Each structure stands twice: as C-alpha cells, then as structure tokens.
Amino acid sequence: MRVFSKQLRSLSLTFGASALLALAGCGLEAYNETGVVTETGPEGDADTDADGDSDSDADADADGDGDSDSDSDSDTDMRINSVTPDWGTTAGGTVVTLNGTFTASSGEVLFGSKSGSIQSWNNSSISVSSPSQSTAGLYDITVNSGSNQVVETEAFTTYEDASGQASVMGSLNWWDYNENVYDPGLDYGDSVMFMNVPSDFHWWELYAASQDSCSDNFVSSNPLNVYTDFEVPQVQLKQGSRTVSMDWNSTSLGWVGEFTSSALSQGSAYDLQTVTSAVYPSFSISDVTRGPKAFTVTSPSAVSGSIQSLSRTNLNFNWNASGADQILINIVVTPTGQWTDKVHDVTCWAKNDGSFTVPSSLFSQWGSGSIAYLIIGAAKEGTGTNPIDNGDARIAGIYWRVSAAYTQ
C-alpha cells in the first residue's frame, strides 16, 4: 500500500417549398351556354393551337399571357424555396445557394441592405457569396431581377466572426500517478468542453497571467463567458475507433466526462463529431484537440521517484516534452493532505524549453510535516476551426504527471 490515495478536484469557471401548378388542358371539349361544342383543337381542347389548354397562346396554361404561370401578367413569379447554408459570419464570404424559381439570367441578391457577390444564376438556382455585415443577427434575403422581386424574411443568420479567437475551449486530460507514491491503477482521463463567446484566450491562461510566471491562488482576469442554451445532452470526440463521450453539466455549463486508457491515443488528432442543436446550426470539427502525450520529468526527483522530503527552496523543474505547446505546473501544500485544507495552490505557465524554476517566495506558509502535491502537465492544442464562426478550437490535450512529497 502506498502512502497517498487519489485526490479529486473540480474546476468551476465563472468567468415553403411550394410547386408551381400549371393549369394544363386535359383533352376535354369546351362547351358554350347551350352545351354545343364551339371549337376543337388538334389535341382535343376548345381552341386552335397545339398546347392542350383553352386559350389562344402557345403555353400550357389557361391564360393569355404567354408564360407558364396562372396569372395574367407576362412574367413568371419568382420564389425562394431554400437557402443553403442559412448562416454565415459577419466577415462575409459564405457561398450560399438559393433554390427556387427565378427570372432572366442575372440580377441582384441582397442580405439585408447589402449586395452579395453573384457566383452563378439560372432559373432554378442562384449561388451568391454573402457580404460582410457590421453586426450579427437575422437578415432578409431579397432577389431582384428586372422589375421582379422576391423577399425571404429573416432567412440568413449572421454570427460574429471569431477568426483569430477561440470559440471552443476545454481540456482533454490524462492523469498519470507516480506508482512509487500512489497505489497502482489510479491513472484515468477526464475532459471538459465549452462553447464560448469568442475570446483570444488559451487554456493555459487559467494558470498564470503570462508565460514563464507563477501565482498563488491565481484567478484569471479574462473570464470564460460560455453559452448555456445549446440543448445538446452529449458530445463526442473520436480518434479512429476511440471515443471520449461528454455529458452536459448544468453546474459547469459545459460538457464533462471521464475515459479509460482504451480511449486514449497519445499525440493523435481527435475530431468533434457532429453536434446537432435546435438553436444552432449542426457542425463538426476536425482536429479539435490532441491526445495527451507522455513525457519525462527529470527533476525534482519526487515527481517520478520514491516518497521524499522537500525543503522550502526554489523548486527546479526539468523535463523533455517534445511537441508540447506549453508546460503547466501546479503545487498544492496542505497540512492535512486534504485538498480542501490547502494553504498554497501555486500554478505556473511555462515555455516548453525544458526547465523552469518555481520561486520559494510563493510558499510563505510552507511548514514542516505538510504534504506538497506536485503536478506537471504538457499541453498541446488541436488546429481545428469552428465552421459556424471561424473561431479556433482551443481544447488542450494535457498529459499530467502527478506525485507528492513531505515538506520540511
């Protein structure tokens, strides 16, 4: 039996398609008031043309205007049957297909009051690139062609463009416990994912204000503002046959889950499977994160060696974490061994250059006989993009080395 048991902690962040009907002749004879046949065309209708209806023009309806609809004007009424996709961003540039009935071979398409760039146009389909907009929201789509116009009200939703910012955040964690200190078999994985208001923020900024710095009981000045109305009970990350499932958690306001080693593929890209919501367009994201990848820590030796005592001096960390974006360090000092009784919760965000020193000045209440939990993680983000708003998917895959020591 090892000295320590598994410690659990939680993180709370406050921070009409309609068809056009033509009235065609059906081979019936036309009768006058006395029931006498007045005239019969070659196809059996009561006129002398060859179209099968009862008027004298050459189209297949019963009016006299020469077009294929049932009204008496000389055009074909335009209509929009579908808009695909029916969303884009304020940056514009989304290629939208309008299916329906359109006149002529050219015209104008407005999104609100701004013109889109026509890509192609025929009588049944228009391809148009959406214009940029100053604000997000719902926009009417208007098609103008000559003297004809059709308006589809609130047919296009524009989301704030998030290019260069994060709109999907979270972490995919693997916790590797030092078996020289802990009981074997404690290793496990957990994950959390948020859909958030676009922000230029990375997960490691929850640990310190800047790179190569530390803080005790750090609280980020950049709160993570998350959306809460997706109405999606579960999301899944997949890498080949490996699946990490996360369920909606109304307390965390995100999706959370745990997984075993069978779902872990170290260093590989995980894809967010299609998310279908009643209040948001369906979407999926390739390379939403990377599987946590093991790395070595050479000092302090307490991270991987047997139980030992640590003095209140500068703590030098040395590691080899090839491919990681950033290194995260967490040192918790507690007199009782219970996380809730901690007197220090020091967190650091370090450049992945192989070494970092945690200054002893952060441990003013470091006392003899306490327990120091030593946790160091190698973090790597995916490269995926949220197709709804062009925002980055910044879910960090983090491999954590977990150990503990006595203080002296």
- We report the CATH number of the domain holding residue 124 as 2.60.40.10
User: At CA 71, angle to CA 69 and CA 75, rounded to 5?
Assistant: 60
Report which residue type is found at 238: K
- Spatial distance between the Cα atoms of 279 and 59, rounded to a whole number of angstroms: 45
403 neighbors 329 (Cβ within 8 angstroms) = no
Render each residue's pLDDT in the chain as its tens digit; 408 residues.
233 333 323 233 443 222 222 222 222 222 222 333 333 333 444 454 555 555 555 555 555 544 444 444 445 589 999 999 999 999 999 999 999 999 878 899 999 999 999 999 999 999 999 999 999 999 999 999 988 999 999 999 999 999 999 999 999 999 999 999 999 899 999 999 999 989 999 999 999 999 999 999 999 887 788 888 888 999 999 999 999 999 999 988 999 999 999 999 999 999 999 999 888 899 999 999 999 999 999 999 999 999 899 999 999 999 999 999 999 999 999 998 888 899 999 999 999 999 999 999 999 989 899 999 999 999 999 999 999 999 999 999 999 999 999 999
Residue 151 and residue 199 share a domain: no
Using alpha carbons, list the distances in angstroms from residue 206 to 12, 219, 233, 277, 339.
Answer: 11, 7, 26, 29, 19
Single residue among 159, 176, 209 that ends a domain in this structure: 159
57 with 199, same domain? no
Print the domain residue range for 149. Answer: 79-159
Calpha distance 246→408 (Å, rounded): 41
Same domain, 101 and 201: no
Do both 251 and 232 map to the same domain?
A: yes
Contacts of 184 (CB under 8 A, 6+ apart): none
Residue 12 in domain: no
Look-up: residue for tokens 């954590």?
400
What pLDDT shows up at residue 221?
A: 84
* Structure-derived torsion over alpha carbons of residues 101, 105, 106, 107, reported in degrees to the nearest 10: -40
Q: Please check whether residue 189 is in contact with residue 11, taking contact to mean a CB–CB distance below 8 angstroms.
A: no
Cα separation, 363 vs 359, in Å, equals 8
pTM: 0.79
Last residue of a domain, one of 159, 187, 217: 159
Euclidean distance between CA atoms 85 and 82, whole angstroms:
9
Give the contacts of 340 (CB within 8 A, at least 6 positions apart): none
Question: Are residues 234 and 377 both part of a single domain?
Answer: yes
Does some domain include residue 117?
yes
Residues 190 and 137 in one domain: no
Tell me the residue length of the chain: 408
151 and 178 in a single domain? The answer is no
Q: Note whether residue 11 is domain-resident.
A: no
How far is C-alpha 169 from the chain's CA centre?
A: 9
Q: Which residues pair with 195 in a beta bridge?
A: 168
Say if residue 212 is in the same domain as residue 120: no
Number of structural domains found in the chain: 3
Dihedral angle of Cα 40, 46, 51, 54, to the nearest 10 degrees: 180
Any domain includes 303: yes
> Does residue 337 lie in a domain region?
yes
Give residue 278's pLDDT.
85
Asked whether residue 215 is assigned to any structural domain, the reply reads yes
Tokens representing residue 19 in the block:
């068809």
| DSSP H or E segment with residue 308 | none
Residue 15 lies in a domain: no
What's the CA gap between 74 and 61, in Å, rounded? 13
Q: What distance separates the 2 farthest-apart alpha carbons in the chain?
A: 119
CB atoms under 10 Å from CB of 149, counted, come to 13
pLDDT of res. 136: 93
Question: Residue 62's pLDDT is what?
Answer: 53
Q: Which of 74, 91, 111 is the last residue of a domain?
A: 74
For residues 224 and 276, state if they share a domain. yes
| Residue 4 covered by a domain | no
Tell me the C-alpha distance between 235 and 276, whole Å.
Answer: 9
- Note whether 382 and 321 are same-domain residues: yes
- Identify whether residues 235 and 359 lie together within a single domain: yes
Same-domain pairing of 212 and 302: yes
What pLDDT was estimated at residue 71?
45
